[in-house]
Amino acid sequence: SYELTQPPSVSVSPGQTARITCSGDALPKQYAYWYQQKPGQAPVLVIYKDSERPSGIPERFSGSSSGTTVTLTISGVQAEDEADYYCQSADSSGTRGVFGGGTKLTVL
């Protein structure tokens, strides 16, 4: 079955830049999406179509794509950004949803 691979954890100090990667064979053909999930809360969409930012999401959140890897970048990380981040896409046919395993972002 199709899988997306993320690092389990990323740590940065406040004000630094955090980069979270997500790899998958179908990513050149399918868009990737990113969600932020804080403890006890539902996930929130922070990036769609690889690099588009929904309204209400701070400009410090950005996304990029290169081949089989997509990257979520958080510039000028703030304490409130500490959360789990999940990438999501679909298989090559677009008929199976798939999530990465999640990355815990720790703000030191």
Query: Is 56 or 67 the residue whose CB approaches other proteins more closely?
Result: 56
* Nearer CB in complex with other proteins: 33/61: 33
Task: CB nearer to other proteins: give 48 or 73.
Answer: 48
Looking at 1-108, which runs of residues are DSSP E strands? Answer: 9-12, 18-23, 33-37, 44-47, 61-66, 69-74, 83-90, 97-99, 103-107
Q: What is the nearest approach in angstroms of other proteins to the Cβ of residue 108?
A: 23
Both tokens of 71, joined, read 């990257």
Pick between residue 15 and residue 97 the one whose CB is nearest to other proteins: 97
Residues that bind other proteins (CB under 8 A): 1, 31, 33, 35, 37, 42-45, 48-49, 54, 86, 88, 90, 93-102
Supply the minimum distance, in Å, between the C-beta of residue 102 and other proteins.
4
CA gap 36, 78 in Å, rounded: 14
Using DSSP, state whether 81 is helix, strand or coil: helix
Q: Which amino acid is at 68?
A: T
As measured in angstroms, the least distance from the Cβ of 15 to other proteins is 28
Q: Cβ 18 to other proteins, closest distance in Å? A: 19
What's the CA gap between 74 and 62, in Å, rounded? 6
